[in-house]
């Protein structure tokens, strides 16, 4: 939902906003003894990767640089987006 309404934001702003949402999702779906946290993290990573790819693909008629480089990978390495599979609950 965030990506649908914030197409004008910089990659840094997108990463910061998605970090808060991602942390919330991981905490919500990681209830000990009830859920499978590693599966949830893999599913969340897949979801974010697909949504970010579509987001940067549709940003304009010409594909954005982040689309060509792999938006999820660039946002994780360069802008500090949380990779759910490497996120440890505290």
pLDDT of residue 54: 85
Contact yes or no for 29/87 (Cβ under 8 A):
no
Query: How many Cβ atoms from other residues are within 10 Å of residue 33's Cβ?
Result: 4
Q: What is the pLDDT of residues 12-71, one digit of tens each?
A: 998 999 999 999 888 888 777 777 888 888 999 999 999 888 888 877 666 666 767 788
Model confidence at 77: pLDDT above 70:
yes
Higher pLDDT, 25 or 90: 25
Record the tokens describing residue 34, joined without a space. Answer: 């009830």
pLDDT of residue 49: 92
pLDDT of residue 39: 86
């Amino acid at each position: 939902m965030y990506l649908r309404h914030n197409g004008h934001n910089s990659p840094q702003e997108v990463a910061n906003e998605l970090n808060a949402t991602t942390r919330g999702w991981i905490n919500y779906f990681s209830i000990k003894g009830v859920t499978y946290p590693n599966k949830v993290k893999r599913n969340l990573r897949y979801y974010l990767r697909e949504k970010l790819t579509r987001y940067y693909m549709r940003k304009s008629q010409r594909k954005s640089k982040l689309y060509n480089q792999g938006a999820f990978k660039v946002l994780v390495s360069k802008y500090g987006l949380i990779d759910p599979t490497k996120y440890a609950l505290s």
